Amino acid sequence: MTQITLRTAASPEDFAAVRALCLAYREDLRAHHPAAPALVALFYPDPAYNELLDALPGKHDAVLLAERQGAPVGCAMSQRLPDGSTEIKRVYVAPEARGQGLAAQLVEELATRARAAGAPLLRLDTMKTLAAACHLYAKLGFVERGPYQPIPDVALPHLRFFERTP
């Protein structure tokens, strides 16, 4: 197994790599289930998503980049919510790097940072049809809960919401 390194994205090149991974993530989401394209259009419309990625780190308190032999293979980010909790966003591992526990490492690194910052809870959401993600979050101690922020009614049947202490 090849060594994977996690680090904070800091340079323009790092953010370009995270941007490319996030665009791949959005394409993976679109392709994985028949209901997904409409949800992706709702939550990740092209102009707004590109604007968010172009502004990285933006409102995120952590943007992580995972590399294997210097090549970007994963990313994750987090942001503080108004109630003081930390929301985990855009956990993505490229297909060639899956199955090595990288997504769990990314989530746990964000948890460590949230704990150090005094966040009382970690929160996240994912599509119900992303079985591997749902399994991972349960395995990492996240428990299912209701929405923690306003979500359009049309999306609610397709999403699962989770939280845990950092």
Tens digits of pLDDT across the chain (166 residues)? 578 999 999 999 999 999 999 999 999 998 988 888 888 888 888 899 999 999 999 999 999 999 999 999 999 999 999 999 999 999 999 999 999 999 999 999 999 999 999 999 999 999 999 999 999 999 999 999 999 999 999 899 999 999 999 9
**Torsional sign, CA 101, 90, 134, 124:** positive
Kind plus residue range of the DSSP H or E element containing 163: strand 159-164
Determine the residue type at 52: L
Distance (Å, rounded) from C-alpha 39 to C-alpha 17?
24
CATH fourth-level superfamily of 4-164? Gcn5-related N-acetyltransferase (GNAT) (3.40.630.30)
d(CA 106, CA 84): 21
Nearest to 90 by CA among 57, 112, 131: 57
